[in-house]
Amino acid sequence: MLITNVTTPSSNGAPVSVRIEGDLVTEIGAGLVARNGESVIDGNGGLLTESLVETHAHLDKAYLAELIPNPTGDLMGAITSMIANRHVMTVENTIERGGCPHLDDDAVMANAELVNLAGDLGVPLDLHADEHTDAHRTSLQNLAERVISTGFEHGVTASHCVSLGMQDVDTQRATAEKLSEAGIGVVALPHTNLFLQGRDMQSAMPRGLTAVKHLRDAGVRVAAGSDNLQDPFNPIGRGDPLEAAGLMILTAHLLPEEAFASVSTVAREVVGARAAGPSVGAVADLMLTAAASVREMIAVGGPRSFVMRRGVVVHRH
């Protein structure tokens, strides 16, 4: 397959063609000619990038906002109403996964149990960590030390990590170094944490984000996710990772290209997926938008002309 007349983030505005064979990008150039029988997609001058990766979404709760209202709007209001209304969700459409140390009375013990359990099962671990603004109640450093001491090798992701954003700079840096040493990826969830956290601090209200800068400075992979979608934990959201990328620009001060990476390249690394995008040898997980730049793509959040997964078009607009 040949995709013609597109720009890519590295083509400096010049139109190129991209050849895909099997599930890989095999050639990129200005003068590529379609082979006999090769299918061709005209990109109409659009921007071809790697496709997006959702690292953290509660699909089991999506669109419950009317069915299960959150009376107080905060985190415990959402959790309490979910528990009280559990009976309105059928077993068939509810699949609960993962651990949640921040809701455990003993987060350190929860870390130990969950790391051991994932080790026994041989599966990666993704924990809801520190989803609160109490700077004195964090279990992240302990999680990193446990991963290092046990040699856990299946991959660990710590999601939210809001408490880390509330701690002093030295603690942020020390924890970030430990997370980096342990190879733990972090997922920031600006949507839900902006909505839920900081309600009790009306002066100098915190953003409810993790310590994105110091994590990145220490070499930690920081991805961004959508988290909740129109449910008791977040009444809005369109389920588009470009929304999370936009919030990472506004609230974590990432540059547009860095924000895009947080929902594509870095997100792929965090979930253990192969490298993808419009570069030779990469997996052909691609998407085409009408934007002239990555910044414009995030700002507009417009439709994707097509989305391709492993060389196969799975969506057209």
User: Comparing C-alpha atoms, which of 136, 182, 141, 185 is closest to residue 160?
Assistant: 185
Q: What single DSSP character describes residue 273?
A: P
CB of 122 to Zn ion, least distance (A): 24
Structure tokens at 128: 């809801």
To which H or E segment does residue 17 belong?
Answer: strand 16-21
CB of 225 to Zn ion, least distance (A): 8
What SS3 class is residue 94? Answer: coil
HSE-CB of 140 using CA atoms within 13 angstroms? 39
CB of 189 to Zn ion, least distance (A): 6
CB of 2 to Zn ion, least distance (A): 40
| Nearest residue to Zn ion on Cβ basis | 227
CB of 58 to Zn ion, least distance (A): 6
Beta-carbon neighbour count of residue 280 at 10 Å? 12
Beta-carbon neighbour count of residue 105 at 10 Å? 6
To which H or E segment does residue 247 belong?
Answer: helix 241-252
CB of 315 to Zn ion, least distance (A): 25
Structure tokens at 180: 């980096």
276 contacts 311 by C-beta, under 8 angstroms: no
Structure tokens at 315: 């969506």
User: Residue 227 or 231: which CB sits closer to Zn ion?
Assistant: 227
Give the list of residues 6+ apart from residue 97 with CB closer than 8 angstroms, or none: none
User: Residue 227 or 243: which CB sits closer to Zn ion?
Assistant: 227
User: Residue 48 or 156: which CB sits closer to Zn ion?
Assistant: 156
Dihedral pair phi/psi, residue 268, rounded to 5°: -60, -45
CB of 272 to Zn ion, least distance (A): 19
1 contacts 26 by C-beta, under 8 angstroms: no
Task: Catalog residues that contact Zn ion under the rule CB under 5 A.
Answer: 227
